[in-house]
């Protein structure tokens, strides 16, 4: 729209000048032949004046726009984007031109604002991370940017030029700033008279005609110490979880046996002791205690469980052992516990202690799921096929939400307030060591079925 009006105004002035010049030429041609010489002379003079005025007007009209554009480009050159061009006075085309100049300035100011905001945002992010970062001019040594983490790692209060480090600790300066670390490298440097391990990488880049170097540092000692501390915390949590899972049924069975003995001691006739039951109970406590000790010793290696101590055991014997251990505590919670087998006499080759640990974990999970269920029930079953053996534990509890099914085997993932999140991940690892697998089928508010599948 601006150019259209400008073109019309320019064309109008050109047409007027053309007409005036045409009239002037015509008048001059009639000068010698005309009888009214004074009148023609006056017309020619008037046309010459009009021609001069038209040329000046056209010149000023064109020059005015160039002046305005030159003024605008001058402000751009000196980055004076705060300048406001008058939009209320002057010719219409100049007012429109000023309006567009102001819009360009506003756009550039907005771009600069967004760029500055992004710069501050990035700067804040780099300040918050624990990795040390520095960028400096390779020629002058002047620091372009450095974050607090690097100053903390190197124990330097401020850093304007890397030559400061050279004067303070030449060995540190040489290892970090002089040596090339295009690939990630582990180095050991002296900081405060202590050996510190650092992970370092560097890259050189150019801006215009100047070369800069970017260095990234990470204190490996701090990271290792932190990771080691977290690992110990998790290990202690896991050990506590597994030990408590084994102690709970042992304690419950021991309480049951103790109550029977006390009742018998007070009134032997009405409360006779079944020596066989007592013997089975004590044997179960002994076996589970030995299994717990072996588990603790195995786990103490910090490599979790890496080897198996397999032996053949009948499904009936395995289930009876689990039933003896778990039944007292399940009865106290009014949970029905049922064992089912297609053929109770067939044998399976497993690490008995570890599979018992797995089944205890799964049963305790089922107990948790059946907390608020009417007529809670847990079924432990087994079957044999041409492909191997399957031990299945089924409950009618609250089930597992579908969106969590893919996460339940992730170590330390748990939905329980007091859980460690290691039970199912440990179960999966134990099954992998048995060259088997674990399958979970669950419907929310209907129950869960977990299958241990052995390929033998």
In tens, the pLDDT along 25-73 reads 777 776 665 556 666 777 777 777 877 887 887 777 777 777 777 777 7
Supply the pLDDT for residue 447: 92
Looking at residue 161, what DSSP letter applies? Answer: B
Longest dimension (CA), the chain: 166
Q: What is the mean pLDDT of the chain?
A: 78
Spatial distance between the Cα atoms of 344 and 341, rounded to a whole number of angstroms: 5
| Predicted structure pTM score | 0.39
Of the candidates 369, 373, 391, 376, the residue with the CA atom closest to the CA atom of residue 454: 391
Asked if 439 and 451 touch (Cβ cutoff 8 Å), the reply is yes
Q: What proportions of the chain, in percent to the nearest 5, are helix, strand and coil?
A: 55, 20, 25
Q: What are phi and psi of 22, to 5 degrees?
A: -65, -45
Mean pLDDT of 283-310: 65
Supply the pLDDT for residue 303: 47
Tokens of residue 347, six digits:
């044998």
Spatial distance between the Cα atoms of 189 and 197, rounded to a whole number of angstroms: 7
Spatial distance between the Cα atoms of 279 and 285, rounded to a whole number of angstroms: 10
At 271, the pLDDT band (50, 70, 90 cuts) reads confident
Tokens of residue 183, six digits:
């690939």
Supply the pLDDT for residue 126: 63
SS3 83: coil
Mean pLDDT of 356-379: 89
Mean pLDDT of 244-249: 70
Sheet of 447-454: strand order equals: 336-341, 377-385, 388-395, 447-454, 437-443
Spatial distance between the Cα atoms of 127 and 321, rounded to a whole number of angstroms: 59
Of the candidates 314, 319, 376, the residue with the CA atom closest to the CA atom of residue 347: 314
Q: Check pLDDT > 50 for residue 302.
A: no
Beta 185-191 vs 377-385: how paired, if at all? unpaired
Spatial distance between the Cα atoms of 43 and 75, rounded to a whole number of angstroms: 48
Mean pLDDT of 141-162: 86
**Total Cβ atoms within 10 A of residue 285:** 18
Tokens of residue 92, six digits:
């219409």
Beta 194-207 vs 210-219: how paired, if at all? antiparallel
157 alpha carbon, distance to own chain's centre: 31
Spatial distance between the Cα atoms of 335 and 157, rounded to a whole number of angstroms: 65
| Helix (H), strand (E), coil (C) string for 340-364 | EECCCCCEEEECHHHHHHHHHHHHH
pLDDT tens, residue by residue, 423-446: 677 788 788 888 888 888 988 888
Q: Check pLDDT > 70 for residue 297.
A: no
pLDDT tens, residue by residue, 171-205: 888 888 888 888 888 888 888 777 788 888 888 88
**How far apart, in Å, do the first and last CA atoms of the chain sit?**
86
């Amino acid at each position: 729209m601006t150019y259209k009006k400008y073109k019309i105004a320019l064309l109008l002035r050109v047409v007027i000048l053309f007409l005036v010049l045409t009239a002037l030429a015509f008048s001059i041609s009639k000068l010698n032949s005309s009888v009214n010489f004074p009148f023609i002379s006056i017309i020619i003079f008037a046309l010459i004046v009009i021609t001069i005025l038209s040329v000046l007007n056209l010149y000023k009209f064109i020059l005015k726009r160039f002046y305005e554009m030159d003024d605008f480009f001058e402000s751009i050159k000196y980055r004076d984007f705060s300048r406001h061009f008058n939009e209320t006075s002057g010719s219409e085309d100049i007012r429109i031109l000023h309006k567009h100049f102001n819009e360009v300035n506003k756009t550039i100011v907005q771009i600069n604002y967004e760029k500055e905001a992004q710069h501050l945002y990035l700067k804040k992010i780099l300040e918050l991370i624990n990795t040390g970062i520095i960028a400096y001019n390779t020629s002058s040594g002047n620091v372009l940017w450095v974050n607090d983490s690097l100053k903390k790692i190197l124990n330097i209060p401020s850093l304007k030029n890397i030559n400061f480090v050279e004067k303070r600790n030449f060995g540190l300066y040489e290892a970090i700033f002089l040596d090339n670390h295009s690939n990630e490298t582990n180095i050991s440097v002296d900081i405060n008279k202590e050996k510190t391990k650092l992970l370092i990488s560097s890259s050189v880049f150019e801006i215009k005609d100047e070369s800069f170097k970017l260095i990234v540092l990470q204190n490996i000692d701090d990271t290792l110490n932190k990771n080691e501390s977290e690992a110990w915390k998790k290990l202690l949590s896991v050990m506590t979880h597994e030990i408590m899972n084994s102690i709970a049924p042992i304690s419950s069975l021991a309480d049951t046996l103790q109550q029977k003995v006390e009742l018998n001691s007070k009134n032997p006739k009405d409360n006779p002791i079944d020596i066989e039951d007592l013997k089975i109970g004590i044997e179960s406590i002994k076996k589970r205690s030995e299994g717990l000790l072996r588990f603790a010793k195995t786990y103490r290696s910090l490599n979790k469980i890496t080897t198996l101590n397999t032996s053949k055991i009948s499904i009936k014997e395995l289930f009876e052992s689990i039933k003896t251990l778990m039944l007292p505590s399940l009865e106290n919670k009014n949970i029905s516990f049922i064992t089912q087998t297609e053929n109770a006499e067939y044998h399976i080759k497993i690490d008995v202690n570890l599979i018992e640990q797995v089944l205890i974990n799964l049963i305790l999970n089922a107990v948790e799921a059946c907390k608020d269920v009417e007529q809670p029930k847990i079924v432990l079953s087994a079957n044999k096929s041409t492909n191997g053996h399957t031990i299945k534990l089924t409950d009618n509890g609250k089930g597992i939400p579908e969106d969590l099914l893919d996460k339940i085997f992730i170590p330390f993932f748990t939905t329980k307030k007091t859980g460690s999140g290691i039970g199912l991940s440990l179960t999966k690892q134990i099954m992998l060591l048995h060259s088997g697998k674990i399958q979970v089928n669950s419907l929310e508010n209907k129950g869960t079925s977990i299958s241990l599948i052995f390929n033998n």
